[in-house]
Amino acid sequence: MACHIPAEMFKQMEAPDFYPHPVTAVEVRETHISKVFLAGDFVYKIKKSLNLGFLDFTTLEKRKYFCHQEVVLNRRLAPDVYLDVVSICLENGAYHLGGPGAVVEYAVKMRRLPDTCAMAHRLETVGIRQAEILALADVLAKFYARPEDQHQVEGVGTWEVVSNNCAENFIQTARFAGKLFDERLFKIVRSATLAFLQRRRPLFDKRAGAGKVRDCHGDLRADHIYFTGDGVQIIDCIEFNQRFRYEDVASDLAFLAMDLDARGHSEIAQDLLTEYVRRSGDADLFVLIDFYKSYRAMVRFKISCIRVQEPDVGKPEKIRLESDISHYLNLAYGYAVGFTRPALWVVCGMPASGKSTIATELGRAFGISVLQSDAIRKQHFASLSGGLSPLAFESGIYSRGATALTYGRMFLLAQAEIEKGNSVVLDATFSARRFRDEALRLATDMDANIFFVECVAPDDVMKMRLAHRETRPSLSDARLTHFDAFRKGFEPLDDIRPDQRIIVQTENPVEDCMGRILYNEYIASPGGSRPGVP
């Protein structure tokens, strides 16, 4: 891992007269993989001669190749910033940009962007305006939607690749456990991550099959975003490893959301994700966002662990890196609490309010079971089921006793799912407070999150839906003649806490309802808007 690039070259590059354009002073910045020279109106970036497993810059030809890749790829989001790849030559002991002499190194030449325009700087000073959040969301939505050859990314952003990336993070940092960080938290995050990957594989496969794996940025964070007079400029994408760049857009966005959380600006992360979903229609990304935020926190954790071990790290930087190691591990832990804790989804409302449609979509989005009271009731009372006549309201299989047995059976099935570590959807009216109390008790006893999704629609819409059941098959036996009785007996959900209650207007498109549900679940769950610490 030692750098084989001559130290003398770096020393000469620190002198203003090294450059063929006006420079009054040279500022040098360093990352774990590069050295950057800020000289006047331009920036020169040199890759270190390193092999870290996930990147290999150990030969001049490799560094040249990846310099050109950096220019080509970054012009996608910063077209006027990346200017060229320039050679550094050696003649008679002196180094020169572009010759004369033999080529000994290559550098990426960039137009220098003002530090005051950087998102990271703006967050700590003047803040980010809503118009800038909207502009950033628009740029990202268009970037991820651009036409590209799906065969190019096919097989790259799969569940297997995500699993390997996560495992690599843990393998490369495990040797530092007990020295640089709390081994207990590390093991919890590792166990939670691996368990989630095993249990929720269909979610990753579904996203890949839906074309959500793209050629992304790979290192999307506030340090790399600039709000300039020429618009939003996003620099420093990953050029050295396609495996880190070809990924689910949710993973790319999660890096920025995690970075904003880490800086104490979770509300901006929420606004950005909301605006992105509004433009892209990709509400399903909320299903995996906490998982990917945890993964991204572990990437930053790994980088800090690697960097703090390097011999050229001074004491001030070492102190900062040690703080980062602890901070990112705590963030990952908080997200892991959110994505591993099962949820009890109670989809409720009046008959014909759209409950079953929403419940089915929730089950699809999360890849979890949907328990329908109508199906459970008819299965349990199969010999008595014969349809609901106009005089049969609250009698027969719909009597109070039969309804209590139906809910009891549904709760037992839900408990069995939660005991496996799975979330589950309950589809029933939950018109009586006592059944909602039972759901709350179940969630408390099983240490599960609980969300009541209350489906509502105008009375005339629900009546029209009930009337259609007279001529169309329906699992539910509720009919228009029973509407007034249902309405009178429905106890409002005033007993449910606001953070546990999500109201959706089902006369709106299903995708709009799902966007509202998934977003509200994201900001209410541990790790969503309030990253936890132990």
Cα 281 from Cα 299, distance rounded (Å): 28
Return phi, psi of residue 394, to 5°: 60, 35
Residue 41 backbone class (left: φ over 0; alpha: ψ -120 to 50; beta: rest): alpha
* Region 509-521 average pLDDT: 91
* Region 63-88 average pLDDT: 97
CATH class of 117-340: alpha beta
Kindly state the tokens that stand for 204: 């990753």
- Asked if pLDDT for residue 3 goes beyond 50, the answer is no
| pLDDT given at position 471 | 65
Q: What mean pLDDT, rounded, does the chain reach?
A: 90
pLDDT 10s digits, 126-155:
999 999 999 999 999 999 999 877 667 777
Kindly state the tokens that stand for 369: 């079971």
pLDDT bin (cut points 50, 70, 90) of residue 170 is very high
What residue segments make up the domains of the chain, in order of their start? 7-112, 117-340, 343-524
pLDDT 10s digits, 465-506:
888 777 666 666 666 776 888 888 899 999 999 999 999 999
pLDDT 10s digits, 378-429:
887 765 544 444 445 455 566 788 889 999 999 999 999 999 989 999 999 9
| pLDDT given at position 2 | 41
CB 433 within 8 Å of CB 455: no
| pLDDT given at position 383 | 52
pLDDT 10s digits, 496-509:
999 999 999 999 99
Question: Percent of the chain, pLDDT > 70?
Answer: 92
Is residue 427 exposed (0-12), middle (13-18) or buried (19+ Cβ within 10 Å)? buried
| pLDDT given at position 270 | 93
| pLDDT given at position 20 | 93
* Region 16-22 average pLDDT: 95
CATH code for residues 343-524: 3.40.50.300
DSSP assignment of 94-138, as one string? EEEET-SSEEEEEEEEEEPPPGGGBHHHHHHTT---HHHHHHHHH
| pLDDT given at position 533 | 35
- Asked if pLDDT for residue 435 goes beyond 90, the answer is yes
SS3 of 224, please?
Answer: helix
First and final C-alpha spacing in the chain: 35
| pLDDT given at position 148 | 78
Return phi, psi of residue 43, to 5°: -130, 140
Is residue 421 exposed (0-12), middle (13-18) or buried (19+ Cβ within 10 Å)? middle
Closest by Cα among 78, 82, 79, 50 to 67? 82
- Identify how many contiguous H helices and E strands the chain contains and give both numbers: 20, 15
CB 90 within 8 Å of CB 102: yes
- Asked if pLDDT for residue 72 goes beyond 80, the answer is yes
SS3 of 2, please?
Answer: coil
* Region 78-100 average pLDDT: 93
* Region 341-347 average pLDDT: 95
Q: Determine which helix (DSSP H) or strand (DSSP E) holds 36, and give its type and residue range.
A: strand 34-39
- Asked if pLDDT for residue 167 goes beyond 90, the answer is yes
Question: Percent of the chain, pLDDT > 90?
Answer: 72
